[in-house]
Chain A
Amino acid sequence: MSDTPPFSTSKLWQAKIVSSVAFSLCVACSAFIIFLLALITGYLGYIGFSSLSLDFFTKDPTGDVFNPGGMRHAILGTLVLLSMASLVAIPTGMAVGVYLSEYAERSWLASVTRFVCDVLAGVPSIVVGVLGYELLVVPMGNFSAFAGSLALAFIMVPIVARTTEEMLRLVPNSYREASIALGATKAVTIFKVVIPAATGPVITGIMLALARVAGETAPLLFTALGARLLSFNNFFSDPQPFPSLTAQIYKYATGPYAAEKQLAWAGILVLIGLIFVINVLIRLVVARSKR
């Protein structure tokens, strides 16, 4: 290095050229990612739109492969699964979030819980499906809506917990101090001051979790399995395979019939549309609450 002069013009030019090449590569990378996104959503949207009709939402499967009807049962099935999962996962997840943010920021239980939440969020969803199979399908003797929603709830809890914690953290400490100074108890402070101040963002976190599990297929394969009929007969006593949008799409897409494949495309479009709307809503809510 010592024999090169400190201001070699050729080196300088070299560095400048390298720099501008790298600069353009960075721009190109971003453009390529956006291009990929446009390619994927554009194609799914294009095909999906052409196969989407009102029947898709209003008709059940007919069993006829050339005229397969619609996916009403699967849409309702997904809604039922999501509500059952939310019923368990949202209170649990929120309680964990409250614990982490309000009660025990630095205790060992809190740091272990935070760590485990992060780790659970990275567990492959298919493994969660295996757990649901072992815990509910094997003892009950059949695939069921309960097993499916348990698997979904398992995925939701860590997401809800961590986002609730982060959102409650954004509430200024002065709110809590003021409330306690007025003589409110801890519980009253949490329910009447902290949570109301963070309602928007907390709902955002819940929506985020819902959007994530609405598109899950893998955990449902071994738990709810999917079905051609939505039936609530003997819902509790005699568990039956339960339909869901994603499982139905998977079945149709990998099957041999063209008309069913069309339904799969339409189903994907509905799913992505739903997730897009949720994402936009989240952006708006977060932008408003940060102001």
Chain B
Amino acid sequence: MTNQPAQEQPSPDSDQAADTSVALRHRPSVFSKLVDQSLLTVCRFSACVVLLMLGALLFVLVKSSWPAIQQFGGSFIIGTTWRPNPLEQPARDAAGKIIFEDGEMVTKTVPPEFGALPVVYGTLLSSAIALVFAVPLSLGCALFLVRIAPWWIEKPVSFLVEFLAAIPSIAFGLWGLFILAPFLQEYAEPWAKTLLGGLGVFNWMFTDSANRPISLTGRDMLCGGLILGIMIVPIITAISRDVLRAVPRHQIEGSLALGATWWQSCVEMLKYAKAGLFGAVMLGFARAAGETMAVTMVIGNNNQISPSPFAPAQTMASLLANEFAEAADPLHQSALKLVALVLLVMSLFLNIIARYLVVGGASGKSRE
């Protein structure tokens, strides 16, 4: 369709037209042309508003995190300490001994430090746990929906999976906080500890950097990852279902005709759709990385890097949820906005790749 549709108005002074049809005598008045033009303008303007929204998002975040960018630069991402409050520490001399003056300990104030590595690490690891949990489950379910279920099972199962996507984040958070975390604390984690703790290889899971045992609270990286995993199951399932459905029939029938078993033909299908499936996983990853409320409630909110899945952690989103409203120090505020910017850029990046893979891969073909 072009911007100006061809409006071939029959000329009203043609005799036959004037006689036979009222509609044909109609010629757009100045008024209706004006309406036409202004509708186009309004629509075009709204489309520009959408572009402006993205622009505003990037501009505002860059502008307000500028002080932090100037102060830290690239070392922001690799800084391992996030400590928003100044710290009083006993001053030490060159030999590492605490200095005393007139019998009193000399203290020095360590300024706040803002390094984003703990939260970047927390985001990546919790999303990775979520993907490990969600991807096999979602692919299995997608194959079930496409290859196994008759329509009267497929429809309700699809609905239920999509309904799982519609449950608000805070509901998952509440469930995780009151059901999953206590379950992990009382059953799953002690069980894992008795099973694996005896083997020296898994010691890192149950002790912190100073080799003290980690207290199993249930509100930790594992719980956050699992909740995220449950939350991203629907999106990965729905997209991989659509991607698999777009695989041409002859691809499956061909392999079946060559004597492939059911599973071998499924493997052919998965291979054919691998770009789209990868896109689905990326979208799930992006969703997990940006998810806030549920994670904030169950991850334990501790800005420290620990390799153990049983240690409390923090993600970029949960750090924002916890500290943003209370941050008074301008540098702290600015650093938090820089974290938001890092999160935004990361999710934009993932989304763009995913969109390219999914649309370029298969779902473009499925749209008739």
Q: Hey, which bits of chain A sit against chain B, CB under 8 A?
A: 15-16, 18-20, 22-23, 25-30, 32-34, 36-37, 40-41, 43-44, 92-93, 95-96, 98-100, 102-105, 107, 109-110, 112-113, 115-120, 122-131, 133-135, 154, 157-158, 161, 180, 182-183, 185-188, 190, 211-212, 214-218, 221-222, 225, 246, 249-250, 253-254, 264-265, 268, 271-272, 275-276, 279, 283
Q: A96-B50, A99-B46, A131-B56 are in contact. Are A253 and B174 (CB under 8 A)?
A: yes
Between B50, B57, B344, the greatest number of chain A beta carbons within 10 A of the residue's beta carbon is seen for B50
Contacts A36-B233, A130-B320, A275-B167 aside, 6 further interface pairs with beta carbons under 8 A come to A15-B264, A26-B140, A119-B54, A120-B53, A215-B167, A276-B166
Q: Are A185 and B28 in contact (CB under 8 A)?
A: yes
Contact assessment for A123 and B347 in the assembled complex, using a CB-CB cutoff below 8 Å: yes
> In whole angstroms, what is the CA distance A276 to B144 when docked?
24
Q: Given A22-B266, A123-B347, does the pair A43, B179 have CB atoms closer than 8 Å? A: yes
A interface, over-half SS: helix
Q: Shortest CB–CB separation between residue B276 and chain A, in angstroms?
A: 15
Contact of A254 among B138, B157, B297 (CB under 8 A): B297
Closest B residue, CB atoms, query A16: B261
Which of B28, B32, B53 has the most chain A CB atoms inside 10 A of its CB? B53
Q: Which of B121-145 contact A (CB under 8 A)?
A: 136-141, 143-145
Interface centre among A112, A115, A161, A214 (most CB of B within 10 A): A115
Please, how many angstroms separate the alpha-carbon atoms of A119 and B58 in the complex? 13
User: B287 contacts which chain A residues (CB < 8 A)?
Assistant: 122
Which of B35-43, B70-78, B97-105, B199-207 has 4 or more CB atoms under 8 Å from chain A?
A: B35-43
Contact of A44 with B39 at beta-carbon distance under 8 Å, contacts A33-B164, A34-B157, A272-B168 already known: no
* Bound-complex Cα distance A254 to B149 (A): 41
Verify B44–A216 contact, CB threshold 8 A. no
Per-residue 0/1 for B60-77: is the Cβ within 8 Å of any A Cβ (1 yes, 0 no)?
110010000000000000
Given contacts A33-B161, A40-B167, A271-B168, contact A126 B320 (CB under 8 A): yes
Residue from A34, A113, A275 within 8 A of B166 (CB atoms): A275
Q: Is B249 part of the binding interface, using a Cβ–Cβ cutoff of 8 Å?
A: no
B261 CB contact (under 8 Å) in A18, A154, A185: A18
Q: Is the CB of A283 within 8 A of B159?
A: yes
**B365 on the A face (CB < 8 A):** no
CB of A217 within 8 A of CB of B24, answer no
Q: With A29-B141, A125-B292 as given contacts, are A103 and B174 in contact (CB-CB < 8 Å)? A: no
Contact A124 B289 (CB under 8 A): yes
The 25 sampled A-B contact pairs (Cβ below 8 Å) are: A22-B266, A26-B148, A33-B161, A99-B43, A109-B44, A110-B47, A119-B54, A122-B351, A122-B354, A123-B344, A124-B317, A127-B57, A127-B61, A130-B340, A131-B60, A135-B60, A157-B49, A161-B50, A180-B5, A180-B7, A182-B23, A187-B35, A225-B325, A268-B170, A276-B166
Q: A55 → chain B, closest Cβ, in Å?
A: 20
**A92-B144 CB under 8 A given contacts A103-B44, A186-B40:** no
CB-contacts of B265-288 with A (<8 A): 266, 283, 286-287
Q: Contact partner of B1 among A19, A103, A116, A154, CB < 8 A?
A: A103
Tell me the residues in window 1-48 of chain B with beta carbons closer than 8 Å to chain A beta carbons.
1, 3, 5, 7, 9, 23-24, 26-28, 32-33, 35-36, 39-40, 42-48
User: Which residues from chain B contact A249 at a C-beta distance below 8 Å?
Assistant: 170, 174
Minimum CB distance partner of A15 in chain B: B261
Contact B60 A134 (CB under 8 A): yes
The 8 A CB mask of B152-182 against A (1 = contact, 0 = none) is 0000010111111011111111110101000
Q: Known contacts being A103-B1, A119-B54, A131-B60, is A33 close to B47, with CB within 8 Å?
A: no
How many chain B residues touch A (CB < 8 A): the figure is 98
The reply to whether A272 and B137 form a contact with Cβ atoms under 8 Å apart is no
CB distance from A1 to the nearest CB of B (A): 16
Residues of B close to A25: CB separation below 8 A = 140
**Cβ–Cβ contact A221 & B325, under 8 A:** yes
B263 interface neighbour in A23, A102, A187, Cβ under 8 Å: A23
Known: A126-B320, A185-B35. A29 touches B144 (CB 8 A): yes
Of B54, B160, B179, which is within 8 A of A116 by CB? B54
- CB neighbours of B233 from chain A (8 A): 33, 36
Q: Bound complex: CA of A125 vs CA of B291, how far in Å?
A: 8
Asked whether, in the complex, the Cβ of B166 is within 8 Å of the Cβ of A112, the reply is no
Q: Which of A104, A126, A187, A211 contacts B290 (CB 8 A)?
A: A126
Report the Cα distance A16→B265, complex, angstroms.
12
Q: Does B106 contact A (CB under 8 A)?
A: no
Which residues from B are CB-within-8-Å of A34? 157, 160
A289 to chain B, nearest CB (A): 16
> In chain B, what residue has the closest Cβ to A223?
B325
Residue ID in chain A nearest B359 by CB atoms: A118
Cα A272 to Cα B163 in complex, Å, equals: 10
Q: How far is the CA of A83 from the CA of B242 in the complex (A)?
A: 33
Question: In the complex, are the beta carbons of B263 and A37 less than 8 A apart?
Answer: no
